[in-house]
Chains A and B, each alone.
Chain A
Amino acid sequence: MGAHDIIRVENLAVVYGEDHVLDKVNFTVNKGEIFIIVGGSGSGKSTLMRHMIGLEQPAGGKVFIGDTDIATSGEKAVSLALRRIGVLFQASALLGSMTVAENVALPITEFSGLPAEAVAAMVQIKLSLVSLECYGDHLPSEISGGMKKRAGLARAMALNPDILFLDEPSAGLDPVTAAEIDRLILHINQTLGTTIVIVTHDLDSIFAVGQRAIMLGRKTGNIIARGAPADLRDHDPDPEVRRFFTRRPPDA
Chain B
Amino acid sequence: MHPPLPSGKPLFELQQEDDNILTVVLHGRADITTAPTLIRQLPAAVPSDQRIQQLKVNFANVTQFDDYGAMVVLRLVQILQLNHDQLSFVNLAADHEKTLALVDFGQPDCRIPSHKSGNLIVHLGDATISVFRGGAFFIEFIGAMVFSLLRVFRRPRSFRAGDTIAYMKTTGVDALPVVGLITFLLGLIMAFMSSLQLSQFGANLYVASLVSLAMVSELGPIMTAIVVAGRSGSAYAAEISTMKISEEIDALVVMGFDPNVFLVLPRVVAAMVVVPLLTVFASIFAVAGGLVIGVLMLNLSPGAYINQSLDALTLFEVMWGLSKSVVFALLIALTGCFRGMQARGGAAAVGSAATSAVVTSIFLIILFDSVFAVIRSYW
Q: In the bound complex, do residue B71 and residue A125 qualify as a contact, i.e. CB atoms below 8 Å apart?
A: yes
Q: Of the listed stretches B34-42, B184-192, B355-363, name the one at the interface; the rest are far from the partner chain.
A: B34-42
B54 to chain A, nearest CB (A): 21
- How far is A138 from B70 in the complex, measured between Cα atoms in Å? 25
- Interface residue B99 (Cβ < 8 Å from any Cβ of A): yes
Q: Specify the chain A residue showing the minimal Cβ separation from B113.
A: A134
Chain A contacts for B99, CB-based, 8 A: 191-192
Chain B contacts for A125, CB-based, 8 A: 67, 70-71, 74, 102-104
- How far is A122 from B35 in the complex, measured between Cα atoms in Å? 11
Given A118-B39, A191-B102, decide whether A134 and B32 contact each other with a Cβ distance below 8 A.
no
User: Number of A-B pairs whose CB atoms are under 8 Å?
Assistant: 77
Interface string of B22-63 (1 = CB under 8 A from A): 000000000110011001100000000000000000000000
- Interface residue B75 (Cβ < 8 Å from any Cβ of A): yes
- Interface residue A59 (Cβ < 8 Å from any Cβ of B): no
B43 to chain A, nearest CB (A): 10
- Interface residue B348 (Cβ < 8 Å from any Cβ of A): yes
- How far is A117 from B103 in the complex, measured between Cα atoms in Å? 16
Q: In the bound complex, do residue B108 and residue A133 qualify as a contact, i.e. CB atoms below 8 Å apart?
A: yes
Chain B contacts for A129, CB-based, 8 A: 67, 102
Chain A contacts for B116, CB-based, 8 A: 137
- How far is A118 from B76 in the complex, measured between Cα atoms in Å? 10
- Interface residue B8 (Cβ < 8 Å from any Cβ of A): no
What range describes how many residues of A lie at the interface?
A: 20 to 34
Q: In the bound complex, do residue B346 and residue A96 qualify as a contact, i.e. CB atoms below 8 Å apart?
A: yes
Chain A contacts for B66, CB-based, 8 A: 160, 192
Please give the number of chain B residues whose Cβ is less than 8 angstroms from any Cβ of chain A in the complex.
Answer: 33
Q: Specify the chain B residue showing the minimal Cβ separation from A84.
A: B1
Q: In the bound complex, do residue B35 and residue A118 qualify as a contact, i.e. CB atoms below 8 Å apart?
A: yes
B338-379 residues with Cβ-Cβ distance < 8 A to A are 345-348
Q: In the bound complex, do residue A128 and residue B71 qualify as a contact, i.e. CB atoms below 8 Å apart?
A: no
A115-143 residues with Cβ-Cβ distance < 8 A to B are 115, 117-118, 121-122, 124-126, 128-129, 133-135, 137-138, 140-142
Q: In the bound complex, do residue A83 and residue B70 qualify as a contact, i.e. CB atoms below 8 Å apart?
A: no
Kindly identify which residue among A96, A113, A192 contacts B347, using a CB–CB cutoff of 8 Å.
Answer: A96
Given A84-B1, A114-B35, decide whether A121 and B74 contact each other with a Cβ distance below 8 A.
yes
- Interface residue B111 (Cβ < 8 Å from any Cβ of A): yes
- How far is A128 from B74 in the complex, measured between Cα atoms in Å? 14
Q: In the bound complex, do residue B104 and residue A134 qualify as a contact, i.e. CB atoms below 8 Å apart?
A: no
- Interface residue B68 (Cβ < 8 Å from any Cβ of A): yes
A220-243 residues with Cβ-Cβ distance < 8 A to B are none
Given A96-B346, A191-B101, decide whether A112 and B68 contact each other with a Cβ distance below 8 A.
yes
Chain A contacts for B75, CB-based, 8 A: 117-118, 121
- Interface residue A80 (Cβ < 8 Å from any Cβ of B): yes
Chain B contacts for A138, CB-based, 8 A: 115
A/B interface sample: 16 pairs, CB < 8 A: A96-B347, A113-B36, A115-B36, A115-B39, A115-B40, A118-B36, A121-B71, A122-B68, A125-B71, A128-B102, A134-B111, A140-B346, A141-B346, A142-B115, A159-B32, A160-B68
The 8 closest A-B pairs by CB, nearest first: A134-B110, A113-B36, A133-B108, A96-B346, A118-B39, A121-B71, A191-B98, A122-B71
Q: Which residues of B contact A (CB under 8 A)?
A: 1, 31-32, 35-36, 39-40, 66-68, 70-72, 74-75, 78, 98-99, 101-104, 108, 110-112, 114-116, 345-348
